[in-house]
Amino acid sequence: MIVQPGQRAQALSYHMFRTLKILKWIVFLFFASTVLAVLAYRWMPVHITPLMVIRAVDNLANGRPAAIHHQWVSLDDMAPQLPQAVIASEDQNFMRHHGFDFGAIQDAMREAEQGTRVRGASTISQQTAKNVFLWPSSTWVRKGFEAYFTVLIELLWSKERIMEVYLNSIEMGPSIYGAEAVAQRHFGCTAGQLRRKDCALIAATLPNPLKFSSKAPSKYMRKRTKQIEKQMRFISAETWQ
């Protein structure tokens, strides 16, 4: 059977139409599902994250217990100095920016060009988006998704909710996630009973909680904790009241 040029073009056009239709549905479903997920987490506790699962599987593959130490608590049940400490340490412009600290990004780019110490430019909002919705990697694809989810949570959540989810989902030690788990396992108390210096010490570990320990802090960690305590003076505790 001989296929005429017109028939071939018609078939190609039909396949392109179907492909575009499928792609439109994929895009629609992606946006609809992600917006609904972010809306749901505006009120629902976050009990599990991709990082928790990945760490548990990795531990299991390496012959270690696949434990996940995590217990959700509200922001009101945490020591008020804990948000102060993480803002002082991680993102001092948290209450002023809309998800991205462009000044910090410019500083990081400048330091990278000069070959000096490369500072982190991720805001608390970005870290929350990454921890709750994404996987740990440094690819541009992941970073693109991170930016997308950061915009969504800044639009659909309050700053207090972003902080609450952040302090409940962030990794704070090996197999330890969130304020309540680290308070119980490293300080023998609840998240609401943490002292000011405990909060500063926890914040000091956040750049690398698998390397830095709030249970057995090194000399560097104790020095960093004192620096954070000084910075906390400039962060109002009444922000969360």
What string of pLDDT tens digits covers the 241 residues of the chain?
A: 454 555 566 666 767 767 888 888 888 898 999 999 999 999 999 999 999 999 999 999 998 988 999 999 999 999 999 999 999 999 999 999 999 888 766 776 666 566 655 456 789 999 999 999 998 888 899 999 999 999 999 999 999 999 999 999 999 999 999 999 999 999 999 999 999 999 999 999 999 999 999 999 999 999 999 999 999 998 876 554 4
CATH class assigned to 41-61+69-240:
mainly alpha
- Strand ranges across the sheet with 171-173: 69-70, 176-177, 171-173
Which pLDDT tens digit goes with each residue over 157-171?
Answer: 999 999 999 999 999
Determine the Cα–Cα distance for residues 75 and 48; give it in Å rounded to an integer.
Answer: 18
Determine the Cα–Cα distance for residues 148 and 129; give it in Å rounded to an integer.
Answer: 9
Determine the Cα–Cα distance for residues 95 and 101; give it in Å rounded to an integer.
Answer: 11
Q: Where are the domains of the chain?
A: 8-40, 41-61+69-240
Which pLDDT tens digit goes with each residue over 48-94?
Answer: 999 999 999 999 999 898 899 999 999 999 999 999 999 999 999 99
Per-residue tokens: 32? 């609809």
